[in-house]
Amino acid sequence: MKIGFVGLGIMGHPMALNVAKGGHQLYVYGQRTCPPSVKEAGAVVCDTLKQIAEQSETVIVMVPDTPDVADVLLGDSGIISGLSAGKLVVDMSSISPIETKTFAAAVAEKGCGYVDAPVSGGEVGAKAASLTIMCGGSEADFARAKPLFELMGKNITLVGEVGAGQTTKVANQIIVALTIEAVGEALLFASKAGADPAKVRQALMGGFANSRILEVHGERMIKRTFDPGFRIELHQKDLNLALQGARAMGMSLPNTATTQELFNAAAPLGGLAWDHSGLVRVLEHLAGHKVAGD
């Protein structure tokens, strides 16, 4: 198929390459910013987003935040201006579930389908085509997009109607943030008590406390590898969506709020661009002790 792909950052770049490896023709945006590997994969670089939509059967969007999706879809010479009836827009960004429904309605007015399909798995999962993909949309639109999803991920679920994918991603980000905080506290406690944090992590991975976050981010905390990955400032954005949604529904997310405050404390330490596992550095600052030496 002819596939438009907008957003070639840390996640989007390898995702687009995996789509190209599946034999699809890519249409991308940005002569100066398009990674050389994407050009080498045969992508056609368009001058405007409108041109991408005009040339493509399906347009995939993978940008950082809700305003970015709004700009890509609805801005001057944006995606919607180039859509014609029967095309499909797939938003794989992590954004507001409420705004997602607004975007889907605007796309529907052009006679086109819409699937919200945020992902989890980070840069590693994007490169390995092993992402978890959480989808919202009609069964028909999901069926059209699924062959593309299978090139980028392994755990692919249609959760419900438009917006359900974004709601699921917010829930995912709550779990991930709180688990990173828990792993950070545990390894910091062990290190401060005089135990070898690497051996503590190894022992815990054989028990009920094991998790993918203990495995991957626990290792980052010990080896001090905090290059993103997934930046703290982006996780802050996702927890903001969780807290705003909770407020609108009249409910409390106390531990989510606490973890967001710890993420906020990374800013004066210069940490907004750290990988989110760098949250342990905030805990270390509070404790006056490091899990391991830099």
Whether a cis peptide bond, with omega within 30° of 0, leads into 9 is: no
Of 14, 88, 33, 17, residue with least CA distance to 56: 88
Give dist(CA 255, CA 234) in Å, integer.
Answer: 18
Let me know if 169 is a catalytic residue: yes
Give dist(CA 121, CA 19) in Å, integer.
Answer: 17
Selecting among 110, 169, 237, 290, the annotated active-site residue is 169
DSSP string, 160-196: ESTTHHHHHHHHHHHHHHHHHHHHHHHHHHHHHTT--
DSSP string, 235-276: HHHHHHHHHHHHHHHT---HHHHHHHHHHHTTGGGT-TTSBG
Cα–chain center distance at 294:
28
Distances in Å between the Cα of 81 and the Cα atoms of 36, 110, 270 are 28, 9, 40
Enzyme catalytic residues:
169
